[in-house]
């Protein structure tokens, strides 16, 4: 017999509580105490409704992170990981859910509940106000609340140390940030002192250790231009690396006088914001962001109030439009797809190291092994701490896991499978001290990322207003009045990291090591400290079964350079990324081209193909012309000439395709012009700019998430009327449309284009223009819901 379980509880308050109950098996949840509180908080009577709406929306977002679209699939799926729960609880309540470090028993849970009860009924010495509850400092620092490493006194000490280089202030910063109970798993580990410590003057200098440092990915948009540039200048000055984040960077920096202001590490994220051929060619490292430690399963999010004209120009988007990156890369659905993207990036930027950013979670080691086999040069395991503070609260508090767990698992699995010597391991997510760096090295990392710490050095006061565009120190805002208050200097970051590296030197000396390389992967130099939470860190400290297996990178590069693009002639599916990295040429091919034909095509390039191509045609192209026509003599009336995800992230150029393409044509197109003769579902999804003309049928979901650009269609399936408006072609745009169809006929010899041009007035009446709802006046925004031509009828049905 099957029964539904209903959880009636006063403990469930927020979205995380609800999600845990449902994924553990509850078919319904009645949070009676929270609902009653919501009713009391709103005299108008809408409090309970708003509370339910927030819970349902939050639950939908959590399920979406896991690729789950309905509650029935999430219920009982146990897609979670426990941190701090012991075997007794897990075996009884959550069998099958990983809990790698043990923790609380039922007796501990009971003690905590009794403490809550005592606090709830204990008389208040001074009432906090009518119906007020105590603020325990869970979100931001409160004097009477829980301990925060970045408390005001600690932040001021860190800033004084960064501004003056005073080692006494640095020690004060370290003391004030660790004086509370253990904050991180590494706080429960001790570095074993060597029987014969090394003299400090024999340890590698701070300047060498600093070269291993990276300022983590924080975009221009999340940060102000001044703060973003200060980080880049600082890291370039000391031979370290700064990461651009997923917002691109200002190309004016490339040739500007003075200190180098562009970022050595350039990120390639799912929305491909700012990813142009020039951006890729300028990189020392290219980082593919699969997941983000502070909000795994979600794409980047930039509120519309932070999308100024500069940010919109760099991201090829619209001013004031909220920008949300899709959770997945649309050209990565398997390890093989990831290998293709790595190959494509190496083709456009052969000298750049290619890295992949993963989030710390159970199973990350297996994924990392696939990444290594896909020929990445480094793997970044990102912990749940860190970020600019703009992530959703439920993600900050309840998603991801400590980097210590993910790094240890990744190191162990790569060593076991003899993959470790091929790549560097990097970690980030709350690193604050030289001790943290040495512990991370002993767990397997060779390179170390800093985010919050370097922002504090620039003046961040932890106001936690990053998402509001109201940062009082001018760091995480685009408002000019607040940016004028920015006082940070690159020297502050350099001093901060120098003091940190000097502290790391002292720990190395006490451990008997002269370099970071000597301690990488040396878990035997760590031991577990006593703790009151019954945590078992033996998983983290597991030594490799083979003591001589390499524990750090030995290879200069992982994998051979991509195959050179043929000059012209016959191509087949072994020829991938044809044209990438070439400039100022016209190349003509015949055959069935492999994946990524014309990827990253740039200005001055022309590629012509007689035949067909696989997925990712024109991916990321920034200029030039791509022409694909069927084989001569091919009598097929409706040939399919290209695969899925063509023009993904394109920022310029023109594509003429005398046939049909697969799904997600022009996904995240932000500047390319394309004409083709039909496509699958999700045509022009997430499009922010450019023009796409479909002379033949396209599938469902045209223009989903579209915020810019224009599409022209003749036959289409159902679409989301909340995103786009479908209307007759305006008179001002009719001539532009005709010119594109004529160019398509001239370049491809298209029979369909010739038929349409033979009676253009009739053909024009059959076209519809698809634009974002926000791009038209309300009176014009009556959208058509299907492919039927009568706009009045379809608008009424919508």
Return the higher-pLDDT residue of 22 and 327. Answer: 22
Average pLDDT over residues 383-412: 83
Total domain count, the chain: 3
State the CATH number of the domain containing residue 311: 3.20.20.70
Helix (H, G, I), strand (E, B) or coil at 711: strand
pLDDT surpasses 70 at 522: yes
User: Can you tell me the distance from the alpha carbon of 491 to that of 495, in angstroms, rounded to the nearest whole number?
Assistant: 6
Residue 439 lies in a domain: yes
Give the residue among 59, 332, 720, 291 at the shortest CA–CA distance from 68. 59
Task: Please say which residue of 121, 152, 172 terminates a domain.
Answer: 121
Q: Please indicate, yes or no, whether residues 641 and 694 belong to a single structural domain of this protein.
A: yes
Q: How does pLDDT run across 635-665, given as a tens digit for each residue?
A: 777 899 999 999 999 999 999 999 999 999 9
Return the higher-pLDDT residue of 82 and 40. Answer: 82
User: Can you tell me the distance from the alpha carbon of 756 to that of 510, in angstroms, rounded to the nearest whole number?
Assistant: 80
Q: What is the mean pLDDT of the chain?
A: 91
Q: Please indicate, yes or no, whether residues 724 and 625 belong to a single structural domain of this protein.
A: yes
Residue 159 lies in a domain: no
Distances from the Cα of 82 to the Cαs of 21, 74, 85, 361, in angstroms? 13, 17, 6, 11
Residue 562 lies in a domain: no
State the CATH number of the domain containing residue 604: 2.160.20.60
Check: CB of residue 765 under 8 Å from CB of residue 779.
no
Q: Please indicate, yes or no, whether residues 294 and 437 belong to a single structural domain of this protein.
A: yes
Phi, psi at 716, each rounded to 5°: -150, 160
Map tokens 């033979």 to a residue.
758
Can you read off the two tokens belonging to residue 157?
Answer: 């000490």
Q: Please indicate, yes or no, whether residues 524 and 573 belong to a single structural domain of this protein.
A: no
Check: CB of residue 425 under 8 Å from CB of residue 379.
yes
Lowest mean pLDDT among 138-152, 154-168, 630-644: 138-152
For 59: left if phi > 0, alpha if psi spans -120 to 50, otherwise beta; the answer is alpha
CB-CB neighbours of 349 under 10 Å: 23
Q: Please indicate, yes or no, whether residues 573 and 524 belong to a single structural domain of this protein.
A: no
Give helix 731-748 / helix 751-758 axis angle, nearest 10°: 140
Map tokens 């039927």 to a residue.
788
What element of type H or E holds 137? Answer: none
Q: Please indicate, yes or no, whether residues 53 and 113 belong to a single structural domain of this protein.
A: yes
Helix (H, G, I), strand (E, B) or coil at 23: helix
Residue 496 lies in a domain: yes
pLDDT surpasses 60 at 131: no
pTM of the model as a whole: 0.93
Residue 633 lies in a domain: yes
Rounded-to-10 torsion of CA 31, 34, 39, 41: -170
Q: How does pLDDT run across 61-77, given as a tens digit for each residue?
A: 899 888 898 999 999 99
Its domain, for residue 437, covers 181-528
Give the residue among 245, 217, 147, 156 at the shortest CA–CA distance from 462. 156
Check: CB of residue 353 under 8 Å from CB of residue 284.
yes
Query: What is the per-residue DSSP string for 242-297?
Result: EB--TT---GGGTT-SSS--S-SEEEE-TT-TT--HHHHHT-SEEEEES--TTSTT
Lowest mean pLDDT among 17-26, 242-251, 387-396: 387-396
Q: Please indicate, yes or no, whether residues 575 and 721 belong to a single structural domain of this protein.
A: yes
Q: Please indicate, yes or no, whether residues 575 and 522 belong to a single structural domain of this protein.
A: no
Task: Please say which residue of 89, 121, 153 terminates a domain.
Answer: 121
Buried b (16+ CB within 10 A) or exposed e, 513-524: beebebbbbbbe
Can you read off the two tokens belonging to residue 693?
Answer: 């003309």
Helix (H, G, I), strand (E, B) or coil at 241: strand
pLDDT at 372: 98
What element of type H or E holds 769? Answer: strand 768-772
Q: Please indicate, yes or no, whether residues 519 and 575 belong to a single structural domain of this protein.
A: no
Q: Please indicate, yes or no, whether residues 580 and 501 belong to a single structural domain of this protein.
A: no
Can you read off the two tokens belonging to residue 656?
Answer: 């003429």
User: Can you tell me the distance from the alpha carbon of 701 to that of 690, in angstroms, rounded to the nearest whole number?
Assistant: 18
User: Can you tell me the distance from the alpha carbon of 276 to that of 543, in angstroms, rounded to the nearest whole number?
Assistant: 43
pLDDT surpasses 60 at 1: no
User: Can you tell me the distance from the alpha carbon of 601 to that of 607, in angstroms, rounded to the nearest whole number?
Assistant: 9
Q: Please indicate, yes or no, whether residues 742 and 657 belong to a single structural domain of this protein.
A: yes
Task: Please say which residue of 478, 500, 528 terminates a domain.
Answer: 528
Residue 558 lies in a domain: no
Residue 552 lies in a domain: no
Residue 262 lies in a domain: yes
Buried b (16+ CB within 10 A) or exposed e, 265-287: bbbbbbbbbbbbbebbbbbebbb
Q: How does pLDDT run across 579-614, given as a tens digit for each residue?
A: 999 989 999 999 999 999 999 999 999 999 999 999
pLDDT at 633: 82
Q: Please indicate, yes or no, whether residues 489 and 623 belong to a single structural domain of this protein.
A: no
Query: What is the per-residue DSSP string for 574-600?
Result: T--STTTT--S-EEEEEEEE-TTTTTT
């Amino acid at each position: 017999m099957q029964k539904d379980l209903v959880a009636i509880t006063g403990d469930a308050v927020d979205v995380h509580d609800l999600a845990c109950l449902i994924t553990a098996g509850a078919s319904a949840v009645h949070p009676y105490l929270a609902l009653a509180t919501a009713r009391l908080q709103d005299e108008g009577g809408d409090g309970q409704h708003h509370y339910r709406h927030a819970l349902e929306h939050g639950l939908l977002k959590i399920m979406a992170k896991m690729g789950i679209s309905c509650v029935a699939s999430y219920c009982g799926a146990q897609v979670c990981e426990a941190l701090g729960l012991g075997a007794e609880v897990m075996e009884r309540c959550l069998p099958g859910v990983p809990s790698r470090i043990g923790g609380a028993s039922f007796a501990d849970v009971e003690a905590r509940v009794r403490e809550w009860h005592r606090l709830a009924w204990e008389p208040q010495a001074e009432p906090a106000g009518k119906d007020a509850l105590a603020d325990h400092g869970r979100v931001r620092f409160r004097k009477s609340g829980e301990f925060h490493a970045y408390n005001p006194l600690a932040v001021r000490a860190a800033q004084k140390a960064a501004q003056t280089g005073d080692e006494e202030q640095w020690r004060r910063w370290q003391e004030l940030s660790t004086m509370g109970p253990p904050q991180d798993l590494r706080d429960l580990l001790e570095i074993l002192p060597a029987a014969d410590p090394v003299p400090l003057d024999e340890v590698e200098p701070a300047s060498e250790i600093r070269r291993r440092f990276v300022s983590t990915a924080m975009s221009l948009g999340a940060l102000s231009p001044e703060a973003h540039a200060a980080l880049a200048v600082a890291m370039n000055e000391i031979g370290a690396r700064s990461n651009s984040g997923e917002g691109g960077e200002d190309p004016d920096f490339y040739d500007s006088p003075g200190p180098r202001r562009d970022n050595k590490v350039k990120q390639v994220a799912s929305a491909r914001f700012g990813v142009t051929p020039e951006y890729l060619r300028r990189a020392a490292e290219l980082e593919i962001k699969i997941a983000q430690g502070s909000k795994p399963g979600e794409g980047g999010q930039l509120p519309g109030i932070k999308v100024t004209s500069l940010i919109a120009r760099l991201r090829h988007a619209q001013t004031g439009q909220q920008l949300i990156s899709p959770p997945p890369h649309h050209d990565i659905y398997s390890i093989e797809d990831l290998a293709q993207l790595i190959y494509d990036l190496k083709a456009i930027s052969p000298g750049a190291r290619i890295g992949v950013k993963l989030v710390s979670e159970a199973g990350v080691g297996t994924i990392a092994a696939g990444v290594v086999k896909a020929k990445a040069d480094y793997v970044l395991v990102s912990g749940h701490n860190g970020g600019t503070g703009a992530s959703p609260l439920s993600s900050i508090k309840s998603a991801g896991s400590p980097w210590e767990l993910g790094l240890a698992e990744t190191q162990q699995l790569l060593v076991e499978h003899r993959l470790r010597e091929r790549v560097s391991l990097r970690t980030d997510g709350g690193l604050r001290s030289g001790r943290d760096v040495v512990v991370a090295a002993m767990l397997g990392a060779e390179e170390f990322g800093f985010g919050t710490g370097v922002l504090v050095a620039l003046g961040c006061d932890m106001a936690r207003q990053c998402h509001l565009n109201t940062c009082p120190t001018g760091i995480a805002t685009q408002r000019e009045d607040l940016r004028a208050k920015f006082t940070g200097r690159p020297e502050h970051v350099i001093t901060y990291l120098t003091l940190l590296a000097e502290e790391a030197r002292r720990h190395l000396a006490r451990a008997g090591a002269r370099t970071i390389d000597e301690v990488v992967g040396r878990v035997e130099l760590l031991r577990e400290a006593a703790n009151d939470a019954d945590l078992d860190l033996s998983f983290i400290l597991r030594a490799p079964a083979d003591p001589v297996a390499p524990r750090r990178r030995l290879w200069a590069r992982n994998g051979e350079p991509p195959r050179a693009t043929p000059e012209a002639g016959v191509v087949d599916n072994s020829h991938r990324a044809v044209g990438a990295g070439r400039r100022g040429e016209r190349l003509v091919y015949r055959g069935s081209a492999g994946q990524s034909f014309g990827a990253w095509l740039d200005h001055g390039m022309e590629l012509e193909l007689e035949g067909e191509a696989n997925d990712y045609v024109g991916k990321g192209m920034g200029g030039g012309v791509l022409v694909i026509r069927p084989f001569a003599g091919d009598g097929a009336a409706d040939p399919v000439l290209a695969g899925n995800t063509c023009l993904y992230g394109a920022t310029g150029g023109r594509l003429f395709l005398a046939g049909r393409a697969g799904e997600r044509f022009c996904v995240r197109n932000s500047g390319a012009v394309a004409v083709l003769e039909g496509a699958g579902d999700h045509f022009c999804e997430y499009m922010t700019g450019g023009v796409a003309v479909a002379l033949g049928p396209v599938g469902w979901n045209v223009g989903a998430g579209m915020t810019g650009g224009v599409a022209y269609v003749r036959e289409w399936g159902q679409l989301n009327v909340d995103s786009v408006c479908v209307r007759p072609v305006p008179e001002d745009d009719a001539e532009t449309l005709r010119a594109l169809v004529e160019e398509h006929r001239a370049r491809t010899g298209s029979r369909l284009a010739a038929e349409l041009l033979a009676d253009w007035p009739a053909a024009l009446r059959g076209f519809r223009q698809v634009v974002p709802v926000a791009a038209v006046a309300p009176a014009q925004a009556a959208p058509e819901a299907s492919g039927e031509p009568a706009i009045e009828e379809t608008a009424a049905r919508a």
